[in-house]
Amino acid sequence: MRDLNSHTILIVEDDDPIRNLYEIKFSQQGYNVISAMNGLDGYEKAKQTVPDIILLDLRMPVMSGDEMLAKLRATEWGCDIRVIILTNISKSEAPMSLRYLHVDRYVTKVHHTPSQIVDVVREVLA
């Protein structure tokens, strides 16, 4: 397994306290953390850094998570980036387009602690 310090995670979340919580949690675990407040910002940061994995909320201003993911998957550099949807939208209410955009995991925030999210990320990157 690669050294965690070589893994870069992009957290795309519009809720400041939640984004800050995950920034701290992943930084403490040795990840290089980049964050974005909406899908457009997230797309631009993903394009600049090409992270190992993206934690992506769905409902955000400017550009939603599913719109960002569609744009990401349409690029050569973004088609294989690991993506975990991290949202409070139940899977049954999620946009249908997600089924065709290759998501590694779909996680509902309210049902998982930050430590459990770190474990999911480790599992996806393993």
pTM of the model: 0.88
Each residue's pLDDT tens digit in the chain (126 positions)?
Answer: 344 457 999 999 999 999 999 999 999 988 999 999 999 999 999 999 999 999 999 888 898 988 999 999 999 999 889 999 888 776 667 666 666 677 888 888 888 888 899 999 999 998
Count of structural domains, the chain = 1
CA distance 24 to 20: 6
Q: How far is CA 91 from the centre of its chain?
A: 16
Which residues in 93-102 are b (16+ Cβ under 10 Å) and which e? ebbeebeebe
Question: Domain containing 62: what range?
Answer: 4-125
CATH label of the domain that carries residue 78: 3.40.50.2300
- Rounded Cα distance, 75 and 23, in Å: 26
